[in-house]
Structure 1
């Protein structure tokens, strides 16, 4: 990839490439990613839609479209885009992880588990999917299994906020309040928004 000093130059370069070759799915995709990094969601969405119109097998673009839908709170569209991604690339772990996350949000633990197992089969080190699986285990009351998953994640990625949050939930469940407090502090330090009720409960018990 050529080196650009700033995003605007990179975007301008991609736009000129697209003038010469408007059917290039890759350029549309790259332009979409550039817009995303500027948080221009409307333009990004337009480019990802162009990418899949021109390159229907581009699973990554469907995943990005799903991410934009999630950003605007549209879980159903997010789910559909990720399903389309798995239809184009069945062994691509990311959309399976996303499907698992959405199904868990929707309360469908069976479907969530099926999708997450696929994500972790195709990419055993996929941290986001492991973290979602730990949330699923917490939801179904299997705290021990959740704890094992979290230890594994935090060994490899000690700055992964969602895992610290889940660890706090387990520690609170086990009434290990001092440990839980350390975990919520870590979760917040690494950018995770801890639920107010959880934080309140833990602080009241410390």
Structure 2
């Protein structure tokens, strides 16, 4: 039986609600409804659905990850960390929560703990571009340029329109004095729609001549 098609997200939401009336304890349906609300940025409704999903399917690690994302949206870093840590306890080899943990820890300035989490994320998903780029940023923040460079190069190779990785690659290349390469990287970052800091653009333009 094929899933019906929907003209818009509101039709999809109505369909999921109909399914819940028939099976109110279906964790997957609560989860799908939460994702739909998330796409509309209706965070309160999305949170309620993910909590219902978690209640009915306690081992649904994805629901914990989504709740962590809502915490991050609200600026609640500790809440994001806690939900993602719970997700790793349920599914230890699920790459996404490890990547999220690494990202948050890096934002909190704890690269010592961020790096092992990001390494786990990439171990469990070798093509996890966001984790790869974040790990490159972590190494850059510590001045470990030789570790940062290959990670960021691989990230943009896997996802050529990932602007933040191009920007961070340019930073590493600038630190290494590779000005022509840095100029090419910031151009790629801009082509992806990423807003490259003017100070970096000016420095590269001056040195790349």
Q: Structure 2-normalised TM-score?
A: 0.90
Report matched runs for 1:35-74 at 5 Å: 35-74=37-76
Q: Would the alpha carbon gap of residues 192 and 64 (structure 1) be closer, same or farther in structure 2, given more than 3 Å must change?
A: farther
Shift of 1:77: 0.7
Q: Would the alpha carbon gap of residues 149 and 28 (structure 1) be closer, same or farther in structure 2, given more than 3 Å must change?
A: same
Report SS of the residue matched to 1:17: helix
Q: Deviations over 1:117-140 (max 9, x none)?
A: 111111111111111110111011
- The worse-fitting range, judged by mean Cα deviation, of 127-136 and 173-182 is 173-182
Report SS of the residue matched to 2:126: coil
Q: Does 1:182 align with 2:147?
A: no
Shift of 1:168: 1.3
TM-align CA RMSD: 1.8
Cα distance in 1 for residues equivalent to 2:45 and 2:113: 33
Unpaired stretches in structure 1, ≥5 consecutive residues: none
Aligned residue among 131, 154, 162 for 1:160: 162
Q: Does 1:14 align with 2:16?
A: yes
Cα distance in 2 for residues equivalent to 1:158 and 1:145: 20
Unpaired stretches in structure 2, ≥5 consecutive residues: none
Report SS of the residue matched to 2:24: coil
Cα distance in 2 for residues equivalent to 1:114 and 1:46: 32
Aligned residue among 74, 77, 85 for 1:75: 77
Work out the number of aligned pairs and report it: 206
Aligned residue among 139, 149, 152 for 2:151: 149
Report SS of the residue matched to 1:164: helix
- The worse-fitting range, judged by mean Cα deviation, of 187-196 and 61-70 is 187-196
Answer whether contact 2:127 2:158 (CA < 8 A) is retained.
Answer: no
Cα distance in 1 for residues equivalent to 2:40 and 2:159: 27
Cα distance in 1 for residues equivalent to 2:49 and 2:193: 29
Q: Deviations over 1:4-48 (max 9, x none)?
A: 122111100101111222211111100011111112122111111
Q: Would the alpha carbon gap of residues 106 and 196 (structure 1) be closer, same or farther in structure 2, given more than 3 Å must change?
A: farther
- The worse-fitting range, judged by mean Cα deviation, of 79-88 and 167-176 is 167-176
Q: Structure 1-normalised TM-score?
A: 0.92
